[in-house]
Amino acid sequence: MVFAPHPDDELLGVGGTLLRRKAEGGHVSLVLMTRIDAAHGWTAEDVASKELQIKEATQFIGFNAVHRLDFPSTRLDEVPLRLLVDAVSQVIKNFQPHEIFVPHWADIHSDHRVTFDAVASSVKWFRYPSVERILAYETLSETEFCLRPDQQFRPNVYIDIGDHLDAKLAALQIYSAELGAFPFPRSAEAVKALAMVRGSAAGFHAAEAFELLRERS
């Protein structure tokens, strides 16, 4: 189960791993924390386009379940944490994931940090015993811009995505409006370069890196 503050975060941070888990026969679930709507400044065309992109990305990855929590995008910090925890807890209870991926707690975007807090409050082992491993992922344009030296992303788990990097890059094109020309962080070149750097740290051609938060086995 991957928690994405916004559509495309799941592909940037975990896209290759999701494709690998599916190839291994696993069941994968996406939790979209927010949505855009006209009430908060987006046009009807923006909303319709995003819905089509979410549908296409869902089919591309092959998600077994997609949970839409529909909190307002860019405004998660205005939602009472209790409501977020209730919603997150319910999807964990329903899907019963063994492995959870969350944004890094020090990401610059407040939606990412609040998502982390909501998940962290919802994964006590005695309430959700299915959860065996929790990993924080990195999101280009958010994670690397943390200026707190004591809160930098420090990966200690590297998942080989060499067989799935090209598919990850293709999947990201679904959200082409969120991408830009290199050296923009969310560019095909930057995504590929990061995968190669993370791979070189672990002896792979390409990898996604994570920070292990808890594991029980």
Q: Give the span between the Cα atoms of 30 and 44, in whole angstroms.
A: 24
* pLDDT for 106 beyond 90: yes
Mean pLDDT value of segment 122-146: 97
* pLDDT for 103 beyond 90: yes
* pLDDT for 113 beyond 90: yes
Position of tokens 């296409």?
Answer: 56
CA distances from 58 to 67, 109, 124, 178 (A): 11, 24, 28, 17
Domain ranges of the chain: 2-212
State the burial class of residue 203 (Cβ atoms within 10 Å of its Cβ: 0-12, 13-18, 19+).
exposed
pLDDT digits (tens, 9 = 90+) for 43-53: 999 999 999 99
- What pLDDT shows up at residue 40? 78
**Is the overall model pTM greater than 0.75, yes or no?**
yes
- What pLDDT shows up at residue 41? 82
- What pLDDT shows up at residue 39? 82
* pLDDT for 38 beyond 90: no
- What pLDDT shows up at residue 122? 96
Mean pLDDT value of segment 18-42: 94
Mean pLDDT value of segment 110-136: 97
CB 133 within 8 A of CB 212: yes
Q: Which fold has domain 2-212?
A: Rossmann fold (3.40.50)
* pLDDT for 209 beyond 90: yes
Q: Given pLDDT bands bounded at 50, 70 and 90, which one contains residue 123?
A: very high
CB 14 within 8 A of CB 2: yes
pLDDT digits (tens, 9 = 90+) for 162-188: 999 999 999 999 999 999 999 999 999
